[in-house]
Amino acid sequence: MQLVFDFETLSTDRINAPIVSMALIEFDESRFTTQTAYSYTELLEMSRMITFNVESQVKDHGRKIDPDTLEWWGEQGAEAMAQLKPSEFDKPLSECIPFMVEHITDINKVYTRGNTFDPVILDYIAQQFNQVVPYMHWEVRDTRSTIEGMAWGTDLENGFIPEGLEEHFVKHDPRHDVAMDVMRIQTLAIALG
């Protein structure tokens, strides 16, 4: 099994960024064929998401909101902005790794958009709360490189939206981000198959 996860943050500082949310999907790349391919709806339904108490991260853990990142969020649209509103369901950041452990089984590859951001953030969360990251460092991959490698020699961008999904994708909603990355890789796997 493979895992893809994504954080949404209020800073690009990988050590001190307040974490708004995280989503993950455990998927099976052997389904990347035309007979058993995932649908986008199925991937969204498979996604698991947790939101975090930002105020507590700032007050109790010294994490710092970056004004430029906050301004950037203001330009992302109402659907993406909705996740910034505090909720009674927001969890302490210390529940991040237990949430991952609860929603993954036997994984052998771990994907993120870029392996110098999300995995680094997770490492610092683990360090801050004396927890263990639930995968080995050699299992980490990044979807940008995978997509660009699969599309080598074409002008296809790593953030392409497969045909017919443009109206369904919500940028910067981590559930959509992880589902779309699986769809991008699957689309290319089918095209190359």
* pLDDT of the residue at 14: 95
**Segment (H or E) for 4:** strand 2-9
Residue ranges in the chain whose pLDDT is less than 50: none
* pLDDT of the residue at 193: 84
Q: Residue-wise over 93-125: b if at least 16 C-beta within 10 A, else e?
A: beebbebbeebbeeeebbbbbebebbbebbeeb
Q: Are 159 and 185 in contact (CB under 8 A)?
A: no
* pLDDT of the residue at 33: 86
* pLDDT of the residue at 164: 93
17-79-18 Cα angle (round to 5)? 10
CB atoms within 10 A of CB 146: 18
